[in-house]
Amino acid sequence: MRHTVIINVLAFVAAAFATACDDGRIYPVDADLSDDNGMRVIMTGTITGAGTAYESGYTLALAAFDDGNEFAVVSKTVGDGSEAVELVNVSPSVSSIELCVINSLRKRIATLASISVSGSAGERVEFEIGDVDASPFAVINHEIFSTTCIQCHGATGHAAAGLDLRAEEAYGMLVGVASTVENGMQRVCPGDAAASTLWRAVATDVSSSWSFHHNNLLTPDRCGFIENWINNTQDD
């Protein structure tokens, strides 16, 4: 009789476990999943340039971040268009809401627009982003070149190595243009980051013999985003 009871209990536990697995539930049974359990974020504006450009391990997303944490607490993929995008059940403890590029681990690569928040459960947060060009090159141009590179490459009227990386000049100065510091190379060789001086300069030690060593300028994540852009760039 005792054996029968034990078997029945085990069968019940197994059945309950199977039900939970089939349900896909990873939260407690009594968890409150209503929208009032967190903030509701409404992002409005117009996004262009994303298209299918984020298919290689990167995502354009509406995301929420805790203070000091580069990994999104929650995120939602967004694409081209002007329809409002909602992010619900956002923890009131987050510090910022961002339109950003994240990688497959939901780690922030670059921020295109953001607002600071200090909300409460059930609160509605309006996030107006305006008109945003979210193409990968636009992200690199405005979030990397303009913050890190143009001090030496164009902003002061001097373009080191003849490379002007100001927003209006950068693409034409890079793609398919012969390198002035590496013989037989291009600054950006479409479809081949390993053959591109831009990527080699920031991601390898090739610049160690130049007048300025570039490989500590960018994080590995941002170097990877540049690599991805080059490898997916088509020759015009």
Which residues on neighbouring strands pair with residue 19, listed in sequence order?
A: none
List, for residues 97-115, the tens digit of each pLDDT value.
999 999 999 999 999 999 9
Domains of the chain in start order, with CATH, are 35-134 (2.60.40), 137-231 (no CATH)
Q: Provide the β-strand partners of residue 47.
A: 81, 132
Beta strand pairing call for 96-103 and 108-116: antiparallel
Q: What is the pLDDT of residues 34-50, one digit of tens each?
A: 445 799 999 999 999 98
Q: What is the mean pLDDT of residues 150-155?
A: 89
Q: Is the dihedral of CA 144, 149, 153, 158 positive or negative?
A: positive
Number of Cβ within a 10 Å radius of residue 55: 10
Q: Give me the chain's average pLDDT, please.
A: 84
pTM of the model: 0.79
Q: What is the tens place of the pLDDT at every residue in 201-210? A: 999 998 888 8
The pLDDT, as a whole number, for residue 181 is 93
29/179 Cα distance (integer angstroms): 60
- Residues 6 or more apart whose CB falls under 8 angstroms from that of 113 comprise 45, 98, 99, 127, 129, 130, 132
Q: Tell me which residue has tokens 């890079």.
A: 174
What whole-number distance in Å separates Cα of residue 128 and Cα of residue 123?
16
* Bigger pLDDT: 49 vs 118: 49
